[in-house]
Structures are given as structure tokens and as C-alpha cells.
Amino acid sequence: MKKTLAGAFRDNVRVFLQNFAEIEEYTVGEMTVWSTLLFSQDEGVFPLYTVEETAESSPDPFCNHCEAAGWGHHFVCQRKYHFIIPEKENWNLPLDEIDETHCHYLYGLIHCNGYGHLIRVNGLKNNSNFFSADDTMEFWDRLCTVLKSRYISARHVSRKEAIELSLIHGAAYGKSWFEKWGYKFSGGSPGITEQKYGETIQSLGSLNLDSIVADLKNRSRNMKRIKEMIDVYRKFSGKPLFTITDLLRLMLVFESRVQKDVSNACKYGGSETGESSPMGFEKFVDSMTKDCRWPSRRLENVLYVIVGLLKEHRAKNGESGNAISRQELRDGARKSIGDTGLIDYVLKSIKCFTIDNLIIRRAINPYSKLAEFNIRDQEASNGATSVRLRLGLSLSRDIRFLYENVLSEYIESHFFLTNNYHFVKEWTIKREITKNNKMELTCKVLPSFDEMETELTRRLPPGEMVVVDPWITIGELRVAAQWALRDTYCVMDEFEVTQIGGLRRIEDEKVVYGTVGPGSEVWVRGRGFDFSTVIRYEDEGRK
């Protein structure tokens, strides 16, 4: 699913579940669970769970995340959806409970009005067995876009890994890690403004490396290593490094290149073999002999034939076309080896091994979903890594050391950086007719003066998004708005929209397009608020 769905979030999530998910045979706390199987070239198939929680049956229909994000005045939604990618060891197990403290790879929550919260992103370290944090955020951002979310808050919680990631990225690039995906600073500790946060992050990045050495000379027991590290990376860079920003950018960029080279050199899951690098030839043969009836010499013979076929294929097709399908490789091997069972066993066993300074690997083609084999020169496949090893650099360890022994020394004077604060991303409503010939509008209820004086004394919640054909009448828009409001909010379960327009009614016979523009906020009036329900505001009405 690549295209953004056409409706509002409350409708799009239903389309998504109906067409791209299957209902599980179990429930979690009496909540329905859907699973969507996703594919990663590195890890194969993994689940995305979607859990629908209804306010009517929920033990806690309110939302503390809305309250923290400043949305406590929103009406409680009829439904909210939990999106979860569990840790890898739980991929084949049922989802046992909805628990925000679990170390899921991804945990997001979106209310049916399109407002939601990114609660947890794991894989924060680049040696994760699955997604890096960037991979997870790319997926989450795409999911929110496809389903047409309206606002998503991301809370910088006081969790060690999240703080490290955010501040390291902030010092390197002058902005929060969340800002890479369009999130903007929304608020935090009292008195902390977006300007103050930005200025502090900028000041961290502008720290002069030579000044750091002088400042920490008598304050840090690791001063010798700090100076040596700066000198090594300056030598490696080949260009001047003046500030902590210069140093961190070099380290982060080079680390991503090393990760990519290692991944391209050998794309198989470390969890299958317990290794994170290609297996040596003899060790690979030994591992196969433990579980088969063939002697090692026959296994070696098949491997030599396979390597020969791969070399021949590369010579004909070049580096860019050196992948060969399993079936083609099997057919070629049968010309020299009569035992097809032996051939199949060896092909199945190959993941990634080295022979004569070559790397042989098996991977799944992301388009055909079929196994392919290729051959690469070991030095070419691992170029950035070999440079790192020659210089004695350990990037992940050095970045962490720099954070713990340099940045933390200066962060102490800016304690608010380790406190809770929020970033929010908005998906704007289109102010033009969409490609599907639809108009996106927000319908905002204007209560009566008596209602605002007695029952609805707080700031009015945001309008509800409706997507309609441009040529419908105002009367038909009134019906669409009524259905949307009833379907979305508990307090409006039986609400009747009596007019479009605030103080001045717009006649029902008029055509929407030309009367209101695409992307407009339209006031609606009506009757039927359920003031008897206790499920009114997301913050339980505490403010």
C-alpha cells in the first residue's frame, strides 16, 4: 500500500484493516486484534498488530498522552487504534497485552479523529537485530501519511536511549532527531520555549574541540582518551574539524556507511547463526556436516561447483547483474552433480560465507520474493569497514563515549534537555480538489450560548475532517458532517446537525464547491450533546 487513502482517518483505518489485515482468533483485554504481515529484505516476514479499543468497553477511555500534548480539551473519541511491531523474539507469538512499558520496536496510538501519539520507538542503536530507529520512524511516518493522520505527538520521554539519540543528533545537526520527519517543538518543561530549546541545542554543537580539551583537562579522568579520539578523527577526516558538530557529523555519516557496507556484504539475520559477519569456508562446511548424511568432501565439492557457476555468471553479466536465481543455480549444478538432494541441502544451508577472498550470499529478491545468490569481492564489499579497522575506530562505542564523557558534562547546566517535552507533526488538509476529485473540509461545532455558559466552558475542540464530492449540496454536507461527528465522539453519539454556518445559516440547496473552498473550516450548529456521559474530555475534565 503506497498511495494515501482518500477518506478521513476514521474511514481509512477501516479500509486498511479490511483490505490489508486479518482478524486474529484471540483478543487482548476483549479488544479485537488484527495482524498485517510486512516484509523486510533483511529479516523476512514480521507482524504489525492493530488493536481497536472502543471507549464504551475500555477500562480507561481517557488519554494521558492527549493531556500531556495539550489536547486534554478534545472530546473523547469512540475508538482508538494501537499500532504495534513487537520485538523480534515475539514475532511468532500472540500479542499478550497492551503495555506501554514493553520494549516493542514500534508502538503508536491514533484516535479515530486522526490525532495520535508516537509512544515508543526502539531499535535506537545501530546494532539492533531489526530496524534502526530511522527505519522505524520511516515506516511510522509512511503509515500515518497513508492513513491520513492529522496530528501526531512524539514525546521525548526521560528514557536513556531516547535522550541519547535526540541529543547526539541535536548536537550534530542543530535540531532534534524528530525534526527529520517534520515534527516541530511543541512544548515541555515550564518556561522552555522553542527558541530556548533551539538555542541550547545550537550552543552544544558549537562547542570548540580545542576548548573542550582545555575545559576538561582537570575535570575528566578520560581526558587522554578524549584528546586521542579527537586527533584520530581529525587525521581520518582529511579536513579541519573545529566543533563538536563537525566531529559528530563525521562519525554519524561514516557509521551509516559502515552499516550499509556490512549489510550489503552479507544480508542475513545474525539471530539465525549467532554471527554478524560472513562465516569462514571451513566453519561453514563443519556446520553443515552436523545435520546431514553426506561427508564433508561431498559438501565441499558442491560448494566449489556453486562458486564456479557464480564466477562464470559474474564474468558474463558484470557486478551489477551478478545475482542468479536458486533454480538457475540448481540446474547448473546438476550438470556436474547427480544427487539433487545434496544440491538442495547445500543451497538451503547457504546464507553468507567466504572463500578465497570472496563473499557468497543468499538473499530474498524484494520484488520476486525468490531466493537469489551472488558473489562479491570481500574487500570491495567491505570497503568502509576495512578503513575503519585500519584506523582502529569503533564508531558506535566512540559516539557513546563522546556523549557520556563530553556532551553530558555540558548538558548538566541545561537540565531541561533531559526532561519531558513534545514534538508534533501536522498533516495539513488540502486546499485544492484532490486527485480523487474530493474536497477535504473540517466541520467544527459551534454550541449555543447557553451550552457554552453552562456545559462547554472550555476551549472548543478542533473540527472534524470530512471528505466529500465537490458537487454535493450544503444539505448533503450537513448529513455527512452529522455522520462524522456521531461516528467520532462519545458526547455526540446522537448529535443532530441542524445547519451549516455559524451565526448565519447557509442554504441547503447551494452547491458546496463555490460556497466554501477546499480545505476550509466550516462551522456547524445542532443539538443533542450527551451531557450526561462522564466520557467527555480526554483529560477527564481536570482542567
Domain ranges of the chain: 9-150, 270-380, 439-527
CA distances from 538 to 60, 72, 491 (A): 10, 5, 11
Tell me the C-alpha distance between 148 and 23, whole Å: 22
Residue 102: closest CA among 116, 114, 119, 81? 119
Tell me the C-alpha distance between 298 and 328, whole Å: 21
Helices 340-349 and 281-289 pack at an angle, to 10 degrees, of: 120
Q: What stretches of 182-242 adopt beta strand conformation (E)? A: 184-187
CA distances from 418 to 152, 185, 274 (A): 21, 15, 36
In this prediction, residue 218 carries a pLDDT of 76
Tell me the C-alpha distance between 445 and 455, whole Å: 14
Tell me the C-alpha distance between 420 and 119, whole Å: 13
Tell me the C-alpha distance between 505 and 524, whole Å: 9
Residue 168: closest CA among 160, 157, 158, 177? 177
In this prediction, residue 149 carries a pLDDT of 98
Tell me the C-alpha distance between 130 and 244, whole Å: 29
**415-436 burial by CB neighbour count: b if 16+ within 10 A, else e?**
ebbbeebbbbbebebeeeeeee
Answer whether 117's CB lies under 8 Å from 65's CB. Answer: yes
Tell me the C-alpha distance between 495 and 110, whole Å: 23
In this prediction, residue 438 carries a pLDDT of 95
In this prediction, residue 133 carries a pLDDT of 78
Answer whether 12's CB lies under 8 Å from 147's CB. Answer: yes
Q: In a structure prediction context, what are the per-residue pLDDT tens digits for the chain, which is 543 residues long?
A: 668 899 999 999 999 999 999 999 999 999 999 999 998 766 678 899 999 999 999 999 999 999 989 999 999 999 999 999 998 888 888 998 888 777 788 999 999 999 999 998 875 444 343 447 788 899 999 999 999 999 999 976 545 555 566 778 888 888 888 899 999 988 766 667 788 778 878 888 888 999 988 888 877 778 888 888 888 888 878 778 999 999 998 888 776 554 444 444 444 333 333 334 678 888 899 889 887 889 999 999 999 999 999 999 888 877 555 678 889 999 999 999 989 999 999 998 998 888 888 888 887 765 556 788 888 876 544 444 444 444 445 566 788 788 888 887 776 555 555 566 789 999 999 999 998 899 999 999 999 999 999 999 999 999 999 999 999 999 999 999 999 999 999 999 999 999 999 778 999 999 999 999 999 999 999 999 999 999 999 999 765
In this prediction, residue 124 carries a pLDDT of 40
Could you say which DSSP state residue 371 is in? E
Tell me the C-alpha distance between 484 and 442, whole Å: 10
SS3 of residue 406 by DSSP: helix
Fold of 439-527: Ubiquitin-like (UB roll) (3.10.20)
In this prediction, residue 420 carries a pLDDT of 62
List phi, psi (to 5°) of 526: -175, -165
Rounded to the nearest angstrom, the gap between the alpha carbon of residue 410 and the centroid of all alpha carbons in its chain is: 30
